[in-house]
Structure 1
Amino acid sequence: MDIIQASERHLEEVLSLCKYCSENMTKNLIDQWDEVYPNKKDFLEDIRDKSLYLVVDNNLEEVIACIVLNDYQDPEYKEIRWGYEGENVAVIHRLMVHPHHEGKGIAKRLVRYVEELAKNRRYEAIRLDVFVKNPRAVGFYNQQGYEVIDKVIFRKGEFFCCEKLI
Structure 2
Amino acid sequence: MILRRTRQEEINKVVKIIDEAKETLKKNNINQWQNGYPNEEVILRDIENNESYVLEHNGVVIGTTALSFNGEKTYDKIYEGKWLYNGSYAVIHRIAVTNVDGLKGIGTEILKKSEKICMSKGIKNIRVDTHKDNKSMQGLLLKNNYKYCGVIYLKDGSKRIAFEKEVK
| TM-score of the pair, normalised by structure 2 | 0.87
Residue of structure 2 equivalent to 1:16: 16
- The letter for the 1-side match of 2:62 is I
Query: 1:34 Cα deviation (Å)?
Result: 2.7
* Shift in alpha-carbon separation, 1:17–1:156, aligned structure 2, 3 A: farther
Give the percent of matched residue pairs that are identical in Structure 1 and Structure 2. Answer: 26
Corresponding residue SS for 1:94:
strand
Q: How does 1:3-152 map to 2 (within 5 A)?
A: 3-58=3-58, 62-80=60-78, 81-86=82-87, 88-100=88-100, 104-152=104-152
1:163 is aligned to 164
Cα-to-partner distance string for 1:123-145 (whole Å, 9 max, x where unaligned) = 12000101111111111101111
Alpha-carbon offset, residue 57 of structure 1: 3.9
SS at match of 2:138: helix
1:84 and 1:102 map into 2 onto residues whose CA distance is 37
Change (3 A) 1:55 1:36: same
Query: Which ranges in structure 1 are unaligned for 5 or more consecutive residues?
Result: none
Q: CA deviation at 1:77?
A: 0.9
Deviation by residue 1:61-108 (Cα, 9 ceiling, x = unmatched): 54221111112443221112322111x211101101113459611111
Runs of 5+ unmatched residues, structure 2: none
Letter in 2 for 1:94: R
Q: Is the 1:31–1:156 contact (alpha carbons within 8 Å) kept by the matching residues of 2?
A: no
Distance across 1 between alignment mates of 2:23 and 2:13: 15
